[in-house]
Amino acid sequence: MRVLLLGLIGSLGIPVGLQAQTNPGTPPPSSFTLQECISYALENQAEIQQAQIDEEIGERQIRAQLSGWLPQISAQYALTHNIRRPQSVFGDNVVTLGQNYNSNLLFQANQNLYSNDLVLASRAARFTRLQLDQNTKETKINTVVEVSKAFYNVLLTQEQLQILEANIARQEKQYQDARAQYEQGLVDKTDYQRASITLASIRADRKRAQENIKARTAFLKELMGLPIEADLQLTHSYEKMQQNIRLDTTQVVSFVNRVEFQQLRTQQQLQNLNTRFYRWGWLPTASAFINYNPVYFNNNLSDLYSQSYPTSATGLQVSMPIFQGTRRIQNLRISQLQEQRLTIAEQDLQRRINTEYQTALADYKSDYNDWLTLQSNLEIAQEVYNIIKLQYNEGIKTYLDLIVAENDLRTAQVNYYNSLYNVLSSKLDVERALGTIQVN
């Protein structure tokens, strides 16, 4: 058991940018290491897949906005039946104008030469792509932390179940021994009754642990994106695990390593572009055009398209806003205020990251010290139990002393596993606070 206890310790300095071990449509393996759980989750978790789809959607939106730089070609068709044609007076004569039917086709091509909207879209495209990539990165980092914690949670609950199984086997033997001594008249019935109570209590704890394993395994499968019907067995490398529990506690937090800080900086750059858009909003919009417009008219519908009268033109269009009721100025001021707000948010984020790091580091140091202390307590509790068990068998100690030693041992074992989970979990929190969890 000592080897197993040491083996559960590490595996936090793992490569998390691994590719999934399965291909789409291929049944997933039933046995997973921590690295394989993370790799599978990075490929199959719903939130990551949604974030990747959001990247694709964002790319399409960028292309849609930039398509305004390409020629815009359109066609328009119209057919009119003049029920009453217009009339006009020329001297003493009333003349009816036009024909009963007229139709036209308009083919036109426009090419934007300059547009403030398109300039903004072109400059913002790079930052928009970066923002989408950072959102996916944040989702992956959270996935690494959550899957790792869920992995350890399941693994440690399984080990707690093994402790209870061993305690039940030991307690059953003690119950049988106490019963036999009572039947031989060596002791009264309170010893085996106490053994029965203790045995029933441990069996209840075992049942609770078995159900907890089911629930925590289901949660891990959810985080991984593993099919509901798939089997999940956890495996681990003792050598790697026992090497990675320690952490350099002298590291200084660097805000730029945090993806949240990077996201905020990207928002600031986008907002700065927005401010420049409103500041230069008075610039004109220029475009060139060319069109071809065949016109048809006739008094008879059947002969309408027998003769065309085409027209064609090319030219340059320039439009400039002169007065918009101070709308541009108000939008400019709003954008400047939003920039100020993001500056305040950056300062607040720095304080929050520092608090998060200091809290995670304090938790890690405390949990690490608890783990060392409880490891020693476990060894002592095991030694005390062995001595009292031997003394009880020789009639030196009472059965009550044995029960107390048994409870102390079980409590020490459970506390040790809890401290082990806490130190693994707090190390993950420190790494996330430092921004050192890397994903592809």
What pLDDT does 24 receive?
Answer: 47
Using CA atoms, how far apart are residues 12 and 360, in angstroms rounded to an integer?
15
What pLDDT does 22 receive?
Answer: 46
Burial track 200-213 (b if 16+ CB lie within 10 A, e otherwise): eebeebbeebeebb
Using CA atoms, how far apart are residues 156 and 149, in angstroms rounded to an integer?
10
Q: Which domains does the chain have, with CATH numbers?
A: 2-45+115-283+325-434 (1.20.1600.10), 71-114+285-319 (2.20.200)
CB-based contact 234:155 (threshold 8 Å): yes
What does each of the 440 residues of the chain score in pLDDT, given as a tens digit?
443 344 433 433 444 433 344 444 455 666 888 889 999 999 999 999 999 999 999 999 999 999 999 999 999 999 999 988 888 888 778 788 888 899 999 999 999 999 999 999 999 999 999 999 999 999 999 999 999 999 999 988 888 888 888 888 887 877 777 777 777 776 677 777 887 888 888 889 889 989 999 999 999 999 999 999 888 998 876 566 666 788 888 898 899 999 999 999 999 999 999 999 999 988 999 999 999 999 999 989 888 888 999 999 999 999 998 888 888 999 999 999 999 999 999 999 999 999 999 999 999 999 999 988 998 999 999 999 899 888 877 878 877 788 788 888 888 888 888 888 889 899 999 999 999 998 86
CB-based contact 295:102 (threshold 8 Å): yes
What pLDDT does 6 receive?
Answer: 41
Structure token digits, residue 282: 């008075």
- Secondary structure class of 105 (helix, strand, coil): strand
Provide the whole-model pTM: 0.81
What pLDDT does 187 receive?
Answer: 67
